[in-house]
Structure formats: structure tokens, C-alpha cells
Structure 1
Amino acid sequence: MRWTIRRAVEADADRIGEITVAGWRHTYRGIVADERLDALDAGEVAEVRRSAIAAPEPMAVFVADDEQGRVRGYCTVGPSRDPELAGDTTGVSAVLYTLYLDPEVIGTGAGGALHDAGVAHLAAAGFTRATLWVYTANTGAQAFYARRGWTVDGEPYQGPGWSAPATRWARNL
């Protein structure tokens, strides 16, 4: 399958909300409490993503369009909002905040294409290091990121309001 990666626009937000809810429910059953997954609201997620789409550089949201032009995945990248949590010691690092796909397109290359676009954007913005968080029990995502040069960068941590313990991963850009 061929993917077109582009910057998200406000009109993509509702679809991004749907993808987030579907992705969470598909990937996090058994990791996150069912009550939390069942309560997810695509409209609420869309509002949060609208803010990210409208945010100034270097924040960016990328989407993957399939051959019919339908958004099937997205990623959000930008500067760290919490340098201490990011493990920053010399400068502000970048963060890959989200990368979600329609469950139907997992394994088709959309995730890798989105990842690469996000990482390239961060490097072009001048960042030299990036971090991300992966639920510690999400071995599939860990393998995905390890194949792309990310390494574990800390002990599992469960911050206030987090649904499950997560592990920080990092890579140089």
C-alpha cells in the first residue's frame, strides 16, 4: 500500500479522534483499564488534536492518507513541555507525543512513514535528541521503536493521571 504523508489540517481532527479511540481500544486492552478505554470520546480527543494542529512550529501533526485519500494514521511531534520528565540535562529535547493508526492498517508501512516524517521534522527544527513514552506492557510498540533506533532511557514510571506504567525511550536526531 502506498501512503501519502502530509501535515494535518483542522478538518482532519475528527478523523484523528476516531483513530485515537480505535487505536487505544485495539492496542491497550489488558494494559489500560477497560472502563477508561470504554469511556474514550473521539470528539474530546479531536478537540485536543485541533490545538496541536493549530500550534506554532516546531509543533507538528502529520497524517497518513491511503490511496483513496482517507486519513488512516497520524503522529504528533514537538518540543518537550516537561524537561525534567524528558530527562533533559543540556537542552530542550523534542518529543514524539503520539503515533496511532487505524487498527486495519497496522503493518502496512503507515506507522514507519509517519514516524520518519515526524523525526525528520524534529531534526530540521534543530533538535538533537527526542524522547517518547511507551506503556511498559506494550511490547509491540517497543519493538517498532527499537527497529527505528530508539533505546530505553529510564525506569518505568507512572505519572499522575497516567493509565499504566510507561517507559521513556530516546534517540539522537
Structure 2
Amino acid sequence: MEVRTARTEDVDALVTIHQVARRTYYGDLEIPDDTRELRDAYTISIQATDRLVLCVDGAHGPFGFVSLGPPARLVGLYVDPAHWLRGAGGALHDAGVAAWREAGITEGQLEVWDGNDRAKAFYLRRGWQPSGDRRDGPLGRDFVVLGLKVV
């Protein structure tokens, strides 16, 4: 599975992947339409020199991506649910950690919604550990902060 740097023309696909995956793990939670905000955020991230967005392609373009931002933060890792359990998430995660390692980054951080058991298990299997920090999240479940020693 080839992981590549995302391009500006990928932004609409990234927004769709983000929204479809989020609907899957949040279930019935009503989420306002944030298409414009996501489009702006991903455009900025792709163009910024202090951030990195990597994606994997299928027959019809990207179907998963990871967004890394300063300082050593995994901002998001999303795969279209139709492609879950095929290795894309792991490939994206590993490519992101490798990019950190190349840049000399020794510790990474992310937030995961406590109600997303699938994502929590994914990160814990890859060595991420709870930091003890958290912030309020939807449906009475917090976002928990995980840290990773990049070796």
C-alpha cells in the first residue's frame, strides 16, 4: 500500500473521508455541516511547511489520510469505513511516525474520543499510552490524550 503526500486537489476527498468516518464512530450525534471549515483546515495543512498530510489512494482517489501538525501532534487519522481492516490505517500511522523520526521528533501526542473504542484500541496496539490529560467531549465522553515515544 503506497502512502503519498496529499495535494491540494485531494482536499474534497479528505473532507468526505473525515465526515464519513466521524459519522460512523459518533453514531447518531448531530454534527453541524462543517464542510467549509474542514476544507479550509486541510488546505492550510497541505500547504503549510510545519505540517504534513499523507494519504492512500484507491481506484477513485484517496480513501484514507493522516494529518500531522506542530508540535508533534497527530491531528487526525481517518479511513473511509468501506476500507477498514485492510491495513490502510496502520500504513498511514507508520508513515506518520517515520516522518516524525526523520525530523528528529522523539514524542508524539494525539487526542481520541473516549467513546471510539476502535480508535483507542488501534493506538494502544501501536504503543500509544494515556497521559492522564483529557478534555470534555460529546455524549458525556471525554477526549483523552495519548502519547507515543518515537524510537
TM-score by length of 2: 0.91
Contact 1:77 1:118 in 2 (8 A): yes
Separation of aligned partners in 2, 1:42 and 1:109: 27
Separation of aligned partners in 2, 1:156 and 1:107: 28
1:15-94 correspondence runs (5 A): 15-29=13-27, 34-36=29-31, 39-57=32-50, 59-66=51-58, 68=59, 70-80=61-71, 94=72
Contact 1:21 1:40 in 2 (8 A): no
Structure 2: runs of 5 or more not aligned: none
Structure 1 pair 44–138 and aligned structure 2 pair: CA distance change class (3 A): same
Separation of aligned partners in 1, 2:135 and 2:129: 16
Structure (1 or 2) with the greater strand fraction: 2
- Residue from 83, 87, 92 that aligns with 1:105: 83
- Report the residue type matching 1:46 in the other structure: R
- Residue from 5, 8, 15 that aligns with 2:6: 8
Separation of aligned partners in 2, 1:5 and 1:65: 8
Aligned to 1:166: 143
Structure 1: runs of 5 or more not aligned: 81-93
1:44 CA drift (Å): 3.2
Aligned to 1:133: 111
Aligned to 2:73: 95
Separation of aligned partners in 1, 2:135 and 2:36: 28
1:47 CA drift (Å): 1.8
- Report the residue type matching 2:107 in the other structure: R
- Residue from 152, 158, 165 that aligns with 2:130: 152
Contact 1:20 1:42 in 2 (8 A): no
SS in 2 for 1:53: helix
- Deviations 1:83-137, CA, capped at 9 Å, x for gaps: xxxxxxxxxxx11110001110111100000001111111111111001001112
SS in 2 for 1:156: strand
Separation of aligned partners in 1, 2:108 and 2:76: 13
